[in-house]
Amino acid sequence: MQPIGWVSTGFAAALIALVIIAVTLPGPGPIPKNRFVIYLPDVNQVEIAGSFTNWKRIPMQRAGDSGYWEVQLALPGGEHQFTYIVDGRQRLADPTIQTREQDDFGGYNSILNVDGKA
């Protein structure tokens, strides 16, 4: 028969080991980012706005002298509507995404489905 002190010491050691394992295991990882890219070589500014930004404009960055503009954003899973804003005034749907819906300004928003899986 084992003494009771040994059982509680063994239990405590096992519990400590489980806590150490839980703390040191990697988590689910960062949310993957979605890369938005558009080719507009003759413009001065490109922004993106969509349901994932609460329609707040997010500036895009030039990709060197290539004529491409890009930004990476972490999006939750689901359906998202968005548009590009060129030089602060012209709204432009993503030409690479065929799924669109009419917006309230006489143009179109692109519709992007994100599966939410890493």
pLDDT by residue (tens digit) across 32-89?
Answer: 689 999 999 999 999 999 999 999 999 999 999 999 999 999 998 999 999 999 999 9
Q: How far apart are CA 45 and CA 60, in angstroms?
A: 8
Rg (CA), the chain: 25
> 33-114: CATH homologous superfamily?
Immunoglobulins (2.60.40.10)
Global confidence as pTM = 0.71
* CA-angle at 117, arms to 115 and 118, nearest 5°: 140
Quick one: pLDDT at residue 15?
A: 38
- Give the residue extent of every domain in the chain: 33-114
The average confidence (pLDDT) of the chain is 81
Quick one: pLDDT at residue 32?
A: 62
Q: Judge whether residue 7 has pLDDT over 70.
A: no
